[in-house]
Amino acid sequence: MTKPHYQAIVAAPGFALGVQCDADEITGIDFLEPQAEQPPETPLAAEAARQLRAYLADPAFAFGLPLRPSGTSFQRRVWTAIAAIPLGATETYGQVAKRLNNAPRAVGQACGANPFPLVVPCHRVVATGGGLGGFSRQGGGFLLDVKRWLLSHENSLPG
C-alpha cells in the first residue's frame, strides 16, 4: 500500500493531521501518528492548516473549508447529522441512527468513513452507556486516545 501524499501536515497534541487537497477543495484529512509538521504546498493547504491550528487552539472555531463532495447518500446524511451536534455535546450512535431511521452499526460505519474529521466532528458520536465507541474505523490504539483528547478539548468527554 502506498503512503498518501499530504499537501500539509499539522502537529497536534499526541497526533498529527494530514491534509490532502487540490487547488480548489479539501479531499481528505487523516489522523496520523505524531510527527513533524510539513509546510503547506498550496494556498488551500495553507488555509486548511491555519484553520486546523485555530481549532486546536480554540475548539469553538468554526471551519470554513471547501470540502469535495464524497460518500454515499446515506454517509452524507450521517455526516450532516453529525455536523449538527453542538460543541460540548455528544450523541450516541443509537441516537443518530434513530433520527435517521437506520441502525447504529450503519451510523458507526459512516462515521468511520468520514473523510473530513474535525471539520465533520465524528468524534462527538459515542457509545451508549458513556463509552467512547470506535474511532476512524478502529476500536483501539492511538486513535481512541485522539478521540478522548478531542472530547476533552471540547469539554464533552462522556462518563
Q: What is the pLDDT of residue 34?
A: 93
Give the pLDDT score at 142: 77
DSSP structure string for 27-93: EEEEEE-S---B--SSHHHHHHHHHHHHHHH-TTPPP---BPP-S-HHHHHHHHHHHTSPTT--EEH
* Active-site residue set: 122
Q: Which pTM was predicted?
A: 0.91
Q: What is the pLDDT of residue 157?
A: 66
Question: Mean pLDDT of residues grouped by 10 in the chain (159 residues)?
Answer: 89 96 96 95 98 96 95 96 94 95 93 93 87 61 85 80
Model pLDDT, residue 30: 94
Specify the pLDDT at position 135. Answer: 65
pLDDT of amino acid 137: 52
